Copies of this chain bind each other. A is one copy, B any other.
Amino acid sequence: MTKSKFQMIYDELVGHIENGDLKANELLPSENELAESFKASRETIRKALKLLSEHGYIQKMQGKGSVVLDVTKINFPISGLVSFRELADKMGKRAKTDVVGLEEQLMTPDMQEQFQMKEATNVWSVKRVREIDRERIILDNDYLLTSLVPGLTVDICARSLYAYIEQVLGLTISFAKKEITVERPTEEDKELLDLKEYDTIVVVKSHVYLDDATMFQYTESRHRPDKFRFVDFARRTR
């Protein structure tokens, strides 16, 4: 499980940018110079720089070089796939997860459509309330295929579902399709969350896939509007 060379070069350059060795608006050394100092070929350097570019760390300019972007603004991109726990840890908040429901059941027709399956199979239905700074902010409704994710317990759901799936079961989560909308809160939302007087709720629907392209999880994450924030870095595709 040793990382590839261009990954390690990427990691090192990210480090230099985040700790300030490389400041915003500075030019990186040229690809040839980097190749020499890292004892790698230029193509390997280019793979590392491509990653930096995709993640918003640098901007490449043909004929000129690669300039370091101001990364202070991209505090924490919730874009991508991060678990609630990772996020809470990074922000240094007092976070708590309350598992209010965990049961195995046959897919409803609605779920069957979400999973795009011809026949209904069994899924775990997990309902969790996320508490930050003593306020119940988020309601997560997760549905996971029991055939792929066996042996769920309340304890696992309270700690980290993703850690269990990846580290214990050895599955590899690969990508997700997300949709953000705003809806009216349900009675359940009002009951389980500290909604104050808000009459809307932010809903993030996620379809999550493994590395063999099988969908194993569908999630509806319901957020109190004032505590919701989504940050995105997007390159113009042409």
Contacts and interface: CB of A to CB of B under 8 A. Distances in A.
B61 A180 contact: no
Interface stretch (A99-107, A118-126, A144-152, A195-203): A195-203
Nearest to A73: B177
Within the oligomer, what is the number of copies of this chain? Answer: 2
Contacts of A209: 59
Interface in A189-238: 198-200, 202, 207, 209, 211-213, 225-226, 228-237
A161 to B, nearest CB: 14
A18 interface: no
A55 interface: yes
A53 to B, nearest CB: 9
B180 A213 contact: no
B230 A179 contact: yes
B180 A234 contact: no
The 9 closest A-B CB pairs, nearest first, are: A182-B225, A59-B213, A180-B230, A178-B232, A81-B236, A175-B235, A200-B200, A80-B234, A67-B213
Contacts of A167: none
Nearest to A162: B236
A202 B231 contact: no
Interface of A: 25, 54-56, 59, 61, 64, 67, 69-70, 73-74, 79-81, 116, 173-182, 198-200, 202, 207, 209, 211-213, 225-226, 228-237
A116 B209 CA distance: 39
B182 A200 contact: yes
Contacts of A173: 236
7 contacts: A55-B237, A56-B177, A59-B209, A80-B235, A80-B236, A176-B234, A180-B229
A179 B237 contact: no
B182 A70 contact: no
A198 B207 CA distance: 29
